[in-house]
Amino acid sequence: MISGGVGAARLLAGMVQVTDPARIAAVVNVADDTEFHGLLVCPDLDTITYTLAGAVNPDTGWGLAGETWAALGSLRRHAKANGRADIGWFALGDLDLGTHLWRGHRLAEGARLTEVTAEITRTFGLGLRLLPVSDDAIRTKVTTHDGGTLTFQEYFVRAQHDVDVATVRFSGAIEARPTPEATVALRDAAVVVIAPSNPIVSVGPVLAVPGIGEALSLRRESVIAVSPIVGGAALKGPAARLMTNLGEEASVVGVARRYAPFASALIIDTVDADLAGAVAQAGMTPVVAPSIMDTPERAAELARVCLAGAPR
Ligand code: FO1
């Protein structure tokens, strides 16, 4: 599954109910990743891990349930005393910090992000494979109309994505190489599912890695996508506003136009059934099915549609 954060985590939680987790590989976006205080934070990888482990903070969809904030409080005390409001705005909880300390330690030893991710999923007892699309650094950069450039987390968290975006680019994507594990997973999978993640800043950076977009186009008939846009809006996050900012239609039709080159079917929610014809016009086979995963059962049902729906 081509995966971002929360939407992918929900669908994967459905997938593991309907098929053997050992047969599932998630190829995950790494362009949200950001260095904080010398530690690499990987929000999409960690959100999926924590969600599938049943350990995610249910209120936020990221970080760990039952979190405490002692270390962050101490960091913010230093920042306040020394006039550094630019330090400490990204909330790292004490339990979550343990994950970043482990990852930072292992990366400093020379381990690949793919290896470290496998270790973290082992810690949390996950059965599926979580594969960063690349072990190289890819970083989403957003420019705003006043000419400012923001890292993804500055855009998403500090600005609360409440800004209009002029351009989105994935710094490092051109030079990045897909990992061997991700390449093999996308080659050998019976079906590739594009999760209901943000088409621009979650799916986009994965497909921007040289070789990934082409690999999907070659097997387009067995690639199926779940629209992250329902009734013209994103279920969570800035997808609709971003698409509009970039001149794309914030609808299932806009998603179909974006995904048609590398995916053959698009699952759209029942509220968008009247747009099925327009989705077909855009070059994708519409599959109408309930797409709002507000219960585990709904997630499992959508997972079944993905596994059955892909035209062979
Ligand atoms: N999202 C926020 O809105 N505020 C935060 O302080 C925050 C901290 C954070 C820490 C670790 C982590 O893995 C994710 C975190 N997120 C936070 C979510 C993060 O911005 C993700 O990039 C989004 O979920 C989009 O993928």
The CATH classification number of 2-35+128-140+171-309 equals 3.40.50.10680
Name the residue with the closest Cα to ligand 1, atom 16: 62
Pocket test for ligand 1, best of 46, 62, 117 (most atoms within 8 A of CB): 62
The Cα–Cα gap between 256 and 258 comes to 5
- pLDDT bucket at 228, cuts 50 / 70 / 90: very high
Do the beta carbons of residue 217 and residue 263 sit within 8 Å? Answer: no
Q: Binning pLDDT at 50, 70 and 90, where does residue 267 land?
A: very high
The atom number, within ligand 1, closest to the CA of 153 reads: 20
Ligand 1 atom nearest the C-alpha of 202 is 26
Over residues 122-163, the pLDDT tens digits come to 999 999 999 999 999 999 999 999 999 999 999 999 999 999
Distance, CA of 228 to CA of 251 (rounded, Å)? 9
Lowest average pLDDT, out of 26-40, 207-221, 298-312, goes to 298-312
Q: Ligand 1 atom 8: the closest Cα is on which residue?
A: 91
Mean pLDDT value across residues 22-27: 98
Q: What integer pLDDT is reported at residue 309 of this predicted model?
A: 65
308 CA from centroid of ligand 1 (Å): 33
**Contact (Cβ atoms closer than 8 angstroms) between residue 206 and residue 8:** no
**What residue owns the CA closest to ligand 1's atom 22?**
43
Confidence at residue 130, expressed as pLDDT on a 0 to 100 scale:
98
Q: Which residue reads 């999923």 in tokens? A: 121
Q: Considering the chain, what is the average pLDDT of its residues?
A: 96
DSSP string, 211-250: THHHHHHHTGGGEEEE-SEETTEESSSSHHHHHHHTT--S
> Mean pLDDT over residues 283-305, rounded?
97
**Residue 157 CA, ligand 1 centroid: distance in Å:** 7
Confidence of residue 251 (pLDDT cuts 50, 70, 90): very high
- pTM of full prediction above 0.95: yes
Distance of CA 44 from the midpoint of ligand 1 (Å): 9
CA dist 45 and 182 (Å) reads: 14
For residue 295, report the distance from its CA to the centre of ligand 1, in Å.
Answer: 22
Q: What are phi and psi of 134, to 5 degrees?
A: -145, 150
Residue matched to tokens 């929610």 = 269
Which of 40, 60, 67, 157 gets mutated to test ligand 1 (max ligand atoms within 8 A of its CB)?
A: 157
Nearest residue by C-alpha to atom 21 in ligand 1:
43
Q: pLDDT, tens digit, for every residue of 28-56?
A: 999 999 999 999 999 999 999 999 999 99
**What pLDDT, on a 0 to 100 scale, did the predictor assign at position 220?**
97
Residue 310 pLDDT greater than 60, yes or no = no
pLDDT, position 312? 46
pLDDT digits (tens, 9 = 90+) for 157-204: 999 999 999 999 999 999 999 999 999 999 999 999 999 999 999 999
For ligand 1, what atom is nearest to the CA of residue 42? 13
94, 71 contact by CB (below 8 A): yes
* Pocket residue to mutate for ligand 1, from 51, 90, 96, most atoms within 8 A of Cβ: 90
Q: Phi, psi (5° rounding) for residue 53?
A: -85, 0
Domain boundaries, the chain: 2-35+128-140+171-309
> 304 near 215, Cβ under 8 Å?
no
Residue nearest to atom 19 of ligand 1 (CA): 43
> How does residue 219 score in pLDDT terms, banded at 50, 70 and 90?
very high
Protein residues whose CB sits closer than 6 Å to any atom of ligand 1: 5, 32, 41, 43-44, 46-47, 62-63, 90-92, 96, 153, 156-157
Q: pLDDT confidence of 303, banded at 50, 70, 90?
A: very high
Task: Kindly list the distances between the CA atom of residue 87 and the CA atoms of 24, 80, 82, 114, 291, in Å, as whole numbers in the listed order.
Answer: 38, 9, 10, 28, 38
- For 159, phi then psi, to 5°, come to -90, 0
Report which ligand 1 atom has the smallest distance to the Cα of 96: 11
Q: Please give the pLDDT value at position 87.
A: 97
Q: Which residues have a Cβ under 8 Å from the Cβ of 263 and sit 6 or more positions away?
A: 192, 194, 216, 220, 223, 224, 225, 284
pLDDT digits (tens, 9 = 90+) for 88-123: 999 999 999 999 999 999 999 999 999 999 999 999
